[in-house]
Amino acid sequence: MDFALSEELQMVRDMAKDFAEREILPNIEDDEKNHKFRPELVKKMGELGFFGTIVPEEYGGNPELGFLGMAIMAEEVARVSASWGLPFNMQTVGPATILLKFGNEEQRKKYLPGLVSGELIGCFAITEPNSGSDVASMKTTAKKVDDGYVLNGQKMWISSAHVAHVAIVFAYTDTQAKPKHRGMSCFCIDMKDNPGIEAKAIETKLGLFCAPTSEIAFSDAKVPLDALVGEEGSGFKQCMTMLDRTRLSCAARAVGVARACLEESAKYAQERTQFGKPIAEFEMIQDELAQMSVRCEAARLLVHRAAWLTDQGARCTREVSTAKYYAAEAAVANANEAMKIFGSYGYSSEYPAERYLRDSKSYQVVEGTSNIQKVIIASYVLGKHG
């Protein structure tokens, strides 16, 4: 067992850290206040090879880095900005997983190079106003006609959708299938210039303000036959496969926020004096810092194990859910502690602690809630997977 990162992975980590501190950090507080998304940063990250870690070279990727490389970069990006972790996920893992595992050669050639370079902004759309954890309860339909499919329905909370060029969309092609989820299909859709697709920003979020989040309305939206990914009826399986990968990215991003909380708290605790000494000298503060550190280390080990297993091609739903659950809870726990260590300044937007708390809460929801991760983990504990 080798816990050391290869020289290449260390270089990637340092590059992502340097980029996040140089390109994202200087504007992050203003951008968060102004809800500003910077598409030019997507292109810059693309140029540096951030988005190609799971994509073969023929489509512009650098697959030697794999999911472990992705996880290492995701942590560094989210440490500086949890907002930026979302576009990172859309460009790196979501649509790419679907196209690589289930798409045909034309679809891969058409979309993967653009997603990797950042020329094309991607998204994936599962959630609907009345369908979240229960994915199979979605209502969006795709009716086959002579020369394509016609989509109707609504998607909700979709990251990047109103700025996206391409979307992976899940919809029912057969509403009578038994079991129900066998009627679900997956489509890769051009988002621009389709009069039946309207994507609008959702501006009511608690945080992650630099990351665009959207609702999409499909009103008789016609897409070509070749927008179908794989076979009709295979959408649910594709969706679950994708979630195993995007969850991993989410877990890595949660480690980034947990670490930011630790680092900023340690710094503040050494600067802030009360009772004539830095508050870092108080044992109770040290206890909090130690616990935050343990959570970071444990969460990162779980993430790296799940990423390594994914890179080996192993099925590791349990390990991914374990990492996602623990890292999300660790990020929220560390953000809570950071708020306490910062005192009143934690409650103020002068310091980032309150942003960490708002942003960390998203990890308990996105890519399957913490409860859903526990449902998955318990199903393995109870031997329901043979």
Which residues contact ligand FAD by CB under 6 A? 123-127, 132-133, 157-159, 205, 208, 213, 362, 365-369, 371-372, 375
Shortest reach from residue 354's CB to ligand FAD, in Å: 17
Cβ-based nearer residue to ligand FAD, 208 or 210: 208
Cβ-based nearer residue to ligand FAD, 77 or 289: 77
DSSP category for residue 5: P
Shortest reach from residue 238's CB to ligand FAD, in Å: 13
Residue number closest to ligand FAD, CB atom: 132
Chain-centre distance of CA 47, in angstroms?
20
Count CB atoms within 10 A of the CB of residue 48.
17
Shortest reach from residue 113's CB to ligand FAD, in Å: 22
Dist CA 210 CA 28 (whole Å)? 8
Cβ-based nearer residue to ligand FAD, 65 or 115: 115
Which region, left, alpha or beta, applies to residue 258 given φ > 0 means left and ψ of -120 to 50 means alpha?
Answer: alpha
179: preceding bond cis by omega (within 30 degrees): yes
| Residue 127 contacts residue 167 (beta carbons within 8 Å) | no
Dist CA 363 CA 370 (whole Å)? 8
The catalytically annotated residue of 75, 76, 354, 367 is 367
Collapsing DSSP to helix, strand or coil, 324 comes out as helix
Q: Which residues pair with 186 in a beta bridge?
A: 170, 229
| Residue 226 contacts residue 99 (beta carbons within 8 Å) | no
| Residue 385 contacts residue 378 (beta carbons within 8 Å) | no
Shortest reach from residue 94's CB to ligand FAD, in Å: 7
Which region, left, alpha or beta, applies to residue 153 given φ > 0 means left and ψ of -120 to 50 means alpha?
Answer: left
Cβ-based nearer residue to ligand FAD, 62 or 131: 131
Cβ-based nearer residue to ligand FAD, 167 or 309: 167
215 is catalytic: no
Shortest reach from residue 137's CB to ligand FAD, in Å: 9
Active site residues: 367
